[in-house]
Amino acid sequence: MTRRPAVILGDRSLPPGYAHPHASEEARRIAEAGTGLRAQVGSGVHGTSISGQDDRDEMGVCLEPAAFVTGLAQVPAGAGSHATVRFQQYHRHTAWDRPGGLANRSGAGDLDVVVYSARKWARLACEGNPSILLLLFVPDDEVVFRDACGAELVAHADRFVSQRAGGRFLGYLQAQRAAMTGEVGAKTNRPELVAAHGYDSKFAMHALRLGLQGIELLSTGQITLPIPEPDRTYLRSVRRGEIALPEVLAAIADVEARLTALQTGSAVPPEPDRAWVDDWLHRSYLAYWAALGG
- pLDDT at position 186 is 55
Q: How far apart are CA 255 and CA 121, in angstroms?
A: 27
Query: For the chain, which domains are there?
Result: 25-160+272-292 (3.30.460.10), 164-262 (no CATH)
Q: How far apart are CA 92 and CA 88, in angstroms?
A: 13
- pLDDT one-digit tens code per residue, 107-135: 888 999 999 999 999 999 999 999 999 99
- pLDDT one-digit tens code per residue, 27-63: 999 999 999 999 999 999 999 988 767 889 999 999 9
Spatial contact of 168 and 218, defined as CB atoms under 8 Å apart: no
Q: What is the pTM of this model?
A: 0.93
